[in-house]
Amino acid sequence: GAVVSQHPSRVICKSGTSVKIECRSLDFQATTMFWYRQFPKQSLMLMATSNEGSKATYEQGVEKDKFLINHASLTLSTLTVTSAHPEDSSFYICSARYPNTGELFFGEGSRLTVL
Amino acid sequence: QQQVKQSPQSLIVQKGGIPIINCAYENTAFDYFPWYQQFPGKGPALLIAIRPDVSEKKEGRFTISFNKSAKQFSLHIMDSQPGDSATYFCAARVNQGGKLIFGQGTELSVKP
C-alpha cells in the first residue's frame, strides 16, 4: 500500500510552547489530507480536513487558531499545536487520500506530551 | 445519523477461533465501509473494505459480511492468531470525497 510518514513520532514540550507535526505522502500526491486525534482506548476523532492550496476545514469544536493546518504542497501537510497545554496531550494521526481510488492511508501517529 | 456503532468493545478468543466484530449505521448515503487494524502506538492500517453492492468480501483470513437492508456489516477473522491481537475499527464514508466516520473500536485479544 501507499506510504504516509509522520514526524516526529514522539514529542515532549513545555506548556505554552508550539509544536509542529508533519505528514508526508511518500509515493503519491494527496490533494486532501486529514488530521485526527486519539485519546487512550478511544476512537479516532477527525479534527480537520486539509486541502492543498486552500484553507483547512475544521470540525465542530476544534479551535482553528489553536490547531493550525497548512497544506502547502501535494505531499506535505503540517499541524501546529499553538500554545500547547497539558490537555492537548494526545496521539495525533494524519491520513492522506490516494488519488482515483479515494482510499485513505494513515501515518504512524505522533504522540504529543505537554508538561 | 452520521454515527457508526461498533460492538463489542472488547473480545477475547482462543487461537484458532473466529472473532466477529459488528458495526451498524443509519446513513444510507454511506457507500464505502473499510476496516482498520491498529496496534498500540501505531496508526491504523487498512485491512479490508467493501461497498454496499456486495454482500461479502474475503481477503486472506479476513471476511466482511454486509447486510444492506439491516444497515449492518461485520468483520470475521478466520483461524485467529495471537498476532491478530489489536484494536479494530470499522468506518464508513459518504463518497470518495467524504470524510471517514469511525466506529468506537474493538480491542481483540487472541490467547495462545
Question: How many C-alpha atoms does A54 have within 13 Å on its Cβ side?
Answer: 8
Contact B88, B36 (CB under 8 A): yes
- Cα–Cα separations (whole angstroms), residue A35 to A79, A110, B21, B96: 8, 11, 26, 17
pLDDT tens sequence across B22-53: 999 999 889 999 999 999 999 999 999 999 99
Each residue's pLDDT tens digit, A34-90:
999 999 989 999 999 998 888 999 999 999 999 999 998 999 999 999 999 999 999
Is B55 within 8 Å of B67 (Cβ atoms)?
yes
Inspect the interface and report whether the beta carbons of B41 and A111 lie closer than 8 Å: yes
pLDDT of residue B80: 97
CA dihedral (B84, B20, A42, B55) positive or negative: positive
Give percent above pLDDT 90 in chain A.
83
Strand partners, A80: A20, A68
Strands (E) in A8-66, as ranges, are 10-13, 19-25, 32-38, 45-51, 57-58
Q: Smallest CA–CA separation between B9 and chain A, in Å?
A: 10
Minimal-distance CA residue of chain B relative to A92:
B43
Contacts with B, A 30-49, CB within 8 Å: 32, 34, 41-44, 46, 49
* pLDDT computed for residue A100 by the predictor: 81
CA distances B101 to A45, B35, B60, B92, Å, are 8, 11, 25, 5
Contact by Cβ (8 Å): A38, A90: yes
User: What is the DSSP secondary structure assignment for residue B61, as one 8-state letter?
Assistant: T
B17 in contact with A at a CB cutoff of 8 Å?
Answer: no
